[in-house]
Amino acid sequence: MIDKAVTALGALAHPLRLQVFRLLAHHGAGGLPAGDIAARLACPTSTLSAHLARLQTAGLIRSERRGRQIRYAVDAVGTRALLRVLLQDCCGGRPELCGATFVHCPPQECSTVYHVLFLCTGNSARSILAEALLNHLGEGRFCAYSAGSHPKGEVHPQALALLERKGLPTAGLRSKSWDEFTAPGAPTMDFIFTVCDNAAGETCPVWPGRPVTAHWGIPDPAAAEGGPAEQALAFARAYEQLRRRIEAFINLPIAALDELALRERLTAIAREAEAEEAAAR
């Protein structure tokens, strides 16, 4: 962990790279194309590319191709890991005493664990990916689950293969009915997301605790036409679509928003992500 922190600090120890990082932090999960970064910082693209590569190697930023563009954004996981190393011993190991935070939540929210349920019809692909992503990216602040209205009973092999390639844990992932989460002793959900249109249109159970709900429709990668290569591409696309939405979600100031404001922000996350994805096609 210390070695990674030294690498990250070394990457930031350059005026231009620090400017790049701060600019991308300002633009959040959506990030910016390389050309826009170069224009805003008045830096030749040939010079900028080496600095972007250094920041990405250090785990501080990430990149993804959207159509003809390559967009860069702050890597939330890598950045929080650096801040944890810097601040974990603050105030005798209790950084909350002085308000120093090493995650993206305000101090009063950091002790809260939010329970989140992702729903789709079969609970074999999209909702499974979402469960694994949020448990990974949420770093303990979120406890994610998934279920289906008519579960297929097994997780799609392509979903498991993709998660393993991405380095996300797959142990315990299974296809199950949403009835499990209405039974006595089930965890009370704070948020419920439907990730397929069929599940959004079905009559859901009465969920204890009045969770905040939203619909994040994602095309079913298991329904992609073609051979294994085409299906693998569809799964990768669904993974990235879910990742963008989830990264935006975990960066919301949840404790500071009332229920109506939360619903509006969750709907806006889906709307903005869909607009970006359409523009990138």
Catalytic residues: 120, 196, 204
Please tell me the distance from the alpha carbon of residue 99 to that of residue 43, in angstroms, as a whole number.
36
Please tell me the distance from the alpha carbon of residue 22 to that of residue 28, in angstroms, as a whole number.
10
Using alpha carbons only, how large is the chain's radius of gyration in Å?
20
> CB neighbours (10 Å) of residue 57?
12
Distances (CA, A) of 114 to 18, 48, 181, 185, 271: 33, 39, 15, 17, 23
